[in-house]
A = this chain, B = another copy of it.
Amino acid sequence: MTYVGKSIPRNDGFDKATGLGIFTQDVALPNMLFGKVLRSPYAHAKVISIDTSAAEALPGVEAVCTFENTTNKPFNTSATMITTNPGAEPVRDQRVFTGEPLYIGDEIAAVAAVTEKIAEDAVKLIKVEYEVLPAVFDPLEAMKPEAPDVQPEFGCKEHKNVCGEIVEFGIGDIGKGFEEAEVIVEADIELPRVKQAQMETHGAVASYKANGTLEVYSPTQTPHPTKMILAYALDMPESKIHVQNPPYVGGGFGVRIGLSGKAEILAAVLSMKALKPVKIQYSREEDFLASDTRHGGYLHCRLGAKKDGTFVALDTTAWLNTGAYATFGVELLGVCGACGTAGTYRVPNMHYKGFPIYTHQQTAGAFRGFGTPQGTAVVEAAVDKMAQKLGMDLLELRKMNTTKPDDKNWFPFPVGSVAINECIDKAAEGIGWKEKRGKAQSGNIRRGVGIACGTHVSNAAPFCVDYDAVYLRIEQDGSLHIGTGIPEIGPGSTTALIQVACDLLGVPFDTAVMKFGDTAAAPFDIGSHATRTLYAVSQVIRDAAEKIRKDIFEYAADFMGVPADKLDMSEGIIFGEGKEYPLSRLAYEAHLRGKQFFAAECKVPPNSLPWYAQAAEVEVDMELGIVKVIKIVSAHDVGKVVNPRLCEGQIEGGVLQGVGYAVREEMTYVDGKGFYNKGFHKYMLPTADDRPEIVPIMIESNDPAGVMGIKGIGEVGLCATVPAVLSAVEDATGVRFDAVPLVPGRVIDGFKKAGLIK
């Protein structure tokens, strides 16, 4: 392998570092209008009347769209719309605009005008009379019989305000499991709603033309699914919608899947009315207010083991706040159970129940980890408790129970390579486990170390529709052009994939290019989500590369006088039986004869389990209640390292987001006013000061299902951070917190409750 394994600088680096990269907000089309949105000031209300005449009369206003004059077809803004497995029906509980807002921020109307200022003024001129209705905000409150209904049409029959259906599955016999158990522990965790806080706010430019075509630029991380949802919601043929990234995306983290934030469809309906391009660029406040967040809520876990530590029963329940609309509610509760609570350990009797609960709050959806951090937080807390109750070492208890390569567990695919115990060892070693864990601490500043581990997926197949397509072609000078619908949301996937493609084909990296983030560039591709991009797209590239190599060698055979099956290629040189022929020349000779080398492929990827363990070291100020994470050693079974620097970047970014989740970030709801956090001044992202020393460790287990052994890495950097930090804080202070973030108020309260301080 010439390129795989090397830290090749990312292709988009210069553009991004110098400010020359084009993002959605840079897109400017001739005659472009600017759109602004009128949002509900009430958490639950009914619009009694709406009068847009003053807005329409304002000079410069070219379109006013409301729930009254715009398609009322129900859809779902999430990719679940088009990824639900055959036979199942997605929950379609959203519309472009609503006359019965279900959260503070729900879309009532929108205006397009020749300037942003005029659009803003026009929005203020829309007169709306509301009837305010009762609302509920807490998921457990929402399940009570007396709670107001959020989505009466879409609730499950058995449970009040549960959207779609509850998620329940298991293996073995959970009752028998707990009967067999000799030791049983229980754990609870309460998790906040947190925000992706991606650098670029939501936005879109949509240009509808009278010939029935719609051109959309947006930072979507799923161009094809976004196109399909738009086509469904707007009743247009998919072929007539072209969705593309500009090509850069200022961060994804899940919030760019489907139509989260709705900017694309709002710009589209305005453009359809004005017959001009319309740009909508959200302010940070609007972005915080009206795009999906991570699911907060409550989890409970019961873990049973034999006295020797062997796990025999694991029962977990999750009650998560999905907000006003379902979006990924059901699916995320599934992943929470499947990846977050099951999978890490071999437990013969396992049961999981997940409640995706409607409330009158902003919608929760996809955010890096997608349920796994929530599930992992409660299960790892239970494992810690079990170790304490058994008097066993945290590391040993974990290692003896982790899933092994030959296990069946619950997975609908082979477990593949498993280096989780190596991850545990490396993480523990890196943090200085032996020297630091369990050392009595005293004084005001106390230190402790903790650990947690887990797994996730390398894509969403076979749990839902999840596949890729690619167009590969050799240009007439032998250079490589890859066409794909995946976006570059930041991790450097497009650079790493070119490395893989070049090694698979045997062509030089310098002459290869990937066209990405564009639905015209290749057939359907699910896009970037579920830790999949490098893992899954390398699969379809391999198929296409094999096809092209075969074609090249067959064509070269005549030119070289060497049988095709004796030929190979490296760095663009075809060779065999002592002869050499440059691909650049062959491609040109072929061109002169009307022959090209290309391949179009489509593939449902297999799946592989990325394993990981994180060890955290914290410093706790007992008096001020400040928890400072000072070091995280994050060890990952990545299968194969394609680009070490990019892979480390994924781990580092994930860890820092995990640290924010553990000790800083929280969206705080204020009844009657909505979420307090309307921007970065009111939402405590970790700053440089909060950044711990991060030690990324990459372990190559060479997964049998992955191309060259590759597994996913994108999401897993943060999945174990919360329990690792909670474990470390317990080590430092003796107090096990069952809620995050560990902000001073909560820490001081906990210390008071524990009697550590008065």
Contacts and interface: CB of A to CB of B under 8 A. Distances in A.
Interface of A: 11-15, 18, 20, 22, 26, 28-31, 82, 84-86, 209-213, 228, 231, 237-240, 242, 275-276, 461, 465-467, 469, 471, 473, 475-477, 479-481, 483, 510-513, 515, 518, 520-521, 523-524, 589, 591-596, 598-600, 602-604
A596 B28 contact: no
B589 A596 contact: no
A11 B592 CA distance: 33
Contacts of A595: 602
A511 B239 contact: yes
B596 A599 contact: no
* Chain copies in complex: 2
A523 B211 CA distance: 26
B515 A520 contact: yes
Contacts of A515: 242, 520
A476 B598 contact: no
- The interface centre, meaning the residue of A239, A276, A589 with most chain B CB atoms within 10 A of its CB, is A239
- The interface centre, meaning the residue of A465, A473, A599 with most chain B CB atoms within 10 A of its CB, is A473
Contacts of A524: 475-476, 591, 596
A76 to B, nearest CB: 15
A477 B229 CA distance: 11
Nearest to A15: B209
Contact of A511 (B240, B465, B520, B592): B240
Contacts of A480: 239
B598 A238 contact: no
Contacts of A600: 471, 598-600
A513 B211 CA distance: 10
Contacts of A469: 596, 598
Contacts of A518: 520
A505 B250 CA distance: 40
A465 B210 contact: no
Contact of A465 (B465, B512, B592): B592
A92 to B, nearest CB: 15
14 contacts: A14-B209, A15-B211, A22-B29, A22-B30, A86-B589, A86-B593, A228-B476, A240-B513, A469-B596, A469-B598, A473-B523, A476-B524, A523-B596, A594-B602
A475 B223 CA distance: 13
A239 B520 contact: no
Contacts of A461: 594
B471 A240 contact: no
- The interface centre, meaning the residue of A276, A483, A600 with most chain B CB atoms within 10 A of its CB, is A600
Given A28-B28, A210-B14, A467-B594, A239 B86 contact: no
B209 A20 contact: yes
Contacts of A28: 28, 30
Given A20-B275, A461-B594, A591-B524, A481 B604 contact: no
Given A20-B275, A209-B20, A210-B18, A239 B475 contact: yes
In the A-B complex, the 7 residue pairs with the smallest Cβ-Cβ separation, listed nearest first, are: A594-B604, A239-B479, A237-B479, A238-B475, A237-B511, A14-B210, A600-B600
A242 to B, nearest CB: 7
A61 to B, nearest CB: 19
A421 B463 CA distance: 67
Contacts of A20: 31, 209-210, 275-276
A652 to B, nearest CB: 23
A169 to B, nearest CB: 21
Nearest to A10: B211
Contacts of A466: 594
Given A22-B29, A599-B600, A602-B595, A475 B14 contact: no
- The interface centre, meaning the residue of A30, A593, A602 with most chain B CB atoms within 10 A of its CB, is A30
Given A471-B600, A524-B591, A513 B29 contact: no
A479 B240 contact: yes
Nearest to A602: B596
A501 to B, nearest CB: 11
